[in-house]
Structure 1
Amino acid sequence: MFKRIALVVALAAASTVAVAAPVTYKIDPNHTDVVASWSHFGYSNPIAHFGDVDGVIVYDADHVGASKVEVTIPLSGLEANVPDFNEHLRSADFFDAEKYPTITFKSTKVEAAGDKKLRVFGDLTLHGVTKAVVLDTTINKIAEHPISKRAAAGFDATTTIKRSDFGVDKYAPNVSDAVTIRITTEASVPKPEAKK
C-alpha cells in the first residue's frame, strides 16, 4: 500500500514538472527580417526590408492562448536597396518617418491553427493609424540554441494589409494597395543579469 502511494506521489510530481511554463524570448534583430512586397504598375514586385526589429515573444506551449507578442520596428532600419527610394519611402509621400518613426505590433489573441501553426491577432500601428491584423504563423523550431546554450525559438509569419487603411495611399492603385508582409524571426531567452 505504501509503495502504491509513493508511486502516485512520484507520478504526480513528474507530471507537474512536465508542465511547461510560459517562456519569454527577446527578438534577435540580427536574425529577424520583416519584408514588404507590392506590385509596381503590374510590371514588377519590389520589396523593402525592415531591420533593427525590437520586441518580445511570450510563448506558452501548453496554453497557447496565454502567448503574446510585442514588436517595434524603427523606420530607420528600412532598406529597399536604392538610397533615393529609401528616402522616398521615409518621406511624407509614404511613411512620413520624421513624424511617425516607428511601426508597432501588439498581439491581442493567439490561437493554435494546426501542427506547428498559430494565428496571431493583434493591433498594427503604422503612420499613426492602428488597425487589427492577423499573422498566419509557423513555429520553425523551439530548442536550446547550440551557440548561446539558451532556450531559443524561431517563427515565420505572413499577412496582407491595405496600405490605404493606414493613410499610405500614394499612387494607388497603380502601385498596389495590397502589401504582402513576410516575417522571419529568431528569439532567445535573455542572458541572466549579472549579480551586483
Structure 2
Amino acid sequence: MRRSLPFAAFALAAAAVTIAAVPGVIAQAPPQLPGVPDKARVAAGTYAADPGHTMVVWTVDHFGFSPYTGIFGDVTGTLVIDPANPAAAKVDVAIPVARVTTASAGLTEHLLRAGKDGAKPDFFGPAAADARFVSTRVVLDDDGDEAQVTGNLTLNGVTRPVTLDVAFHGAGTNPFNKKATVGFRAETTIRRSDFGISYGIPVVSDAVALEIHAAFEKQ
C-alpha cells in the first residue's frame, strides 16, 4: 500500500500532462455568447418584441404563507432606440392577459372565469383585454446601462402611471435568424386595487411585484 500511493500520484500527473498536450481536450476558452452586455453592440432603429422570449412574471403574497408566481407571455410591441440618444427611447408593448399561466389549473381558470350570476369577475374574466405599457420618459443612470422608464400602464380598463427600474442585459446577433437583438430586465411593484382588481385583499396581497424579461429584434 505504501508503494502504491506514489505510483498512483505519478500516474495521475502523467495522465494530466498527456491530456493537456492534446489540442482541444482541455483548457479551451468557453464559447462566446451571441449576446453580451456591450452597449456598443446596440444599433439604432425600430425593434419588435420577441414574443417567445419576452415575459412579465408577477408575484403576490398568498395568505402570508408564501409568494405565488405566474407569467404573462407572448408579449408583442416595439422599441425605438438610438444609442446616441438613449433617453429618447420609446417602448410600446401589449401583454395578453388572457394567456396568463400559473402552476395551478384551478387558479388559472379562476383568473379567467366570468363573474357569478352576471357579477363582475373576481380577477380578469374570460374576455380580458390585453394590458398595454407605453413609455413617456426615460432617465438613465451615469453609466447608461440602467434607467428608470416611466409610462402609462393600462390594465383591466384602467390606466395608471408606472415606473420601471430597467437594466440593460445584452446585445448581439441572434445566430438562428441573424437579427440584431437587445435584451433588458426590469422590475416594479403595482397595486392591483388601483386597476379595479380587489378580490381577496388582504389575504392575497394588493401589492404585485412585476419582473420583466424582454428581448427585442431589429426590424
TM, length-normalised to structure 2 = 0.74
The answer to whether structure 1 residue 135 and structure 2 residue 135 are counterparts is: no
Distance, in Å, in 2 between the alignment partners of 1:114 and 1:87 is 45
Equivalents in 1 of 2:208, 2:57: separation in Å? Answer: 10
TM-score normalised by length of structure 1: 0.82
Q: Which amino acid aligns with 1:173?
A: P
Counterpart in 1 of 2:125?
96
Looking at structure 2, the residues matched to 77 and 131 of structure 1 have their Cα atoms a distance apart, in angstroms, of 22
1:36 alignment counterpart: 58
1:26 alignment counterpart: 48
Structure 2: distance between partners of 1:90 and 1:122: 26
Query: 1:185 matched to which residue of 2?
Result: 214
2:140 to 112, 115, 122: 112
Alpha-carbon separation, structure 2, partners of 1:21 and 1:80:
36
Aligned residues of 1:38 and 1:176 also touching (Cα < 8 A):
yes
- CA distance in 1 between partners of 2:107 and 2:130 (Å): 18
1:52 aligns with 2:74: yes
Residue 15 of structure 1 is matched in structure 2 by none
Q: Which range moves more in the overlay, 124-133 or 146-155?
A: 146-155
Post-superposition offset of 1:114:
3.8
How many Å separate the matches in 2 of 1:78 and 1:165? 20
**Between Structure 1 and Structure 2, whose CA radius of gyration is higher?**
2
Equivalent position of 1:8 in the other structure: none
Amino acid at match of 2:161: A
Partner of 1:5: none
SS of the aligned residue for 2:111 comes to helix
Give 1:174 deviation, angstroms.
1.4
Q: Is the 8 A contact 1:96 1:127 kept in 2?
A: no
Matching residue's letter, 1:130: T
Query: What is the alpha-carbon distance in structure 2 between the residues aligned to residue 101 and residue 87 of structure 1?
Result: 16
Structure 1 residue 148 displacement after superposition: 2.3
- Can you give the 5+ residue segments of structure 2 that lack an aligned partner in the other structure? 1-39, 114-120
Identical aligned residues as a percent: 41
Compared with structure 1, are the counterparts of its residues 121 and 97 closer, same or farther at alpha carbon in structure 2 (3 Å cutoff)?
farther
Q: Is the 8 A contact 1:25 1:58 kept in 2?
A: yes
CA distance in 2, matches of 1:180, 1:154: 20
Structure 1: gaps (5+ residues): 1-17, 191-196
For the aligned residues, what is the CA RMSD? 1.7
Conservation of the 8 A alpha-carbon contact between 1:36 and 1:179: yes
Once the 2 structures are TM-superposed, how far is the Cα of residue 153 of structure 1 from its aligned partner? 0.3
Is the contact made by 1:161 and 1:179 (CA closer than 8 Å) also made in structure 2? Answer: yes
Counterpart pick for 2:108 among 86, 89, 92:
86
Q: Could you say what secondary structure the match of 2:62 adopts?
A: coil
